[in-house]
Amino acid sequence: MSAGWSLERLFADFHEKIARELASARMLGHPTAQGDASEKTWNEVFNHYLPKRYEARPGFVVDSLGNFSQQIDVIIHDRQYSPFVFSFKRIDVVPAESVYAVFEAKQELTAEYVSYAKIKAASVRKLHRTSLAAQTIDGMSRPKPLHHIIAGILTLSSVWKPALGDTLNGHLRAEVANGILDIGCVADAGWFNRINATEYELHSVTMPATRFLFELIAQLQAIGTAPMLDVRAYASSI
């Protein structure tokens, strides 16, 4: 191997790039501009580093019954098997069946934003999803069971000290129907993940963005492919 190269240095450089871009967004001054920049940064990170079967974008999620989610900062959805993504006046709308994960992206982690993230996650998870049998070399498969949609929150920093402590744990565990958060990143402090219905692991570590991304990829791998959506169900709204 060339002198000076190491996997640890590559990971450190990756984390520093994300943290630097998020920190630069804070310099914009206006809260709306800061939020837009944070959202754009995370979408760019996912589109660059996630496997190409996934795509990330802001927008809304829709189901075949015509129900819409709230506006979502980051939608990670299927790129390979999803037949369409709608665009209207430069706002994207993603079919519910193709969604793997949704995130709220903010500059700071606060109780209010944790609550927002839960409500937005619930607005996606309550949507109707179809799943059809697929033709394989061995004949028709059974319809794929609907997967759990991953949800979380992404920030640069936290208003709490410590950033990942009892206060965050309490807000994560506060119940919102269908709004449970599975994973999140505080880029300058650490990351968290859900380990069962009510318990979380809080990780105050170096290079949290890198560690978070690896865990997210592992959770996406566990889902497998998106279900085959019923195109005719969507067409019935025409």
Output phi, psi for 142, to 5 deg: -75, 150
- The SS3 assignment for 88 reads strand
List pLDDT tens digits, range 158-182.
Answer: 999 999 999 999 999 998 889 999 9
pLDDT, residue 23, reads: 73
pLDDT over 80 at 152, yes or no: yes
pLDDT, residue 26, reads: 67
What predicted TM-score, i.e. pTM, was given to this entire model?
Answer: 0.91
- Going by C-alpha positions, the residue among 194, 234, 185 that lies closest to residue 66 is 234
Residue ranges of domains in the chain: 7-132+142-235
- DSSP secondary structure string for all residues of 93-139: EEEGGGEEEEEEE-SEE-HHHHHHHHHHHHHHHTS----B--EETTE
Output the CA torsion sign for 86, 131, 61, 82.
Answer: negative
pLDDT, residue 198, reads: 87
* Residues annotated as catalytic (active site), given as ranges: 73, 104, 106
pLDDT over 90 at 136, yes or no: no
Tokens of 134: 């697929």
Average pLDDT value over all residues in the chain? 89
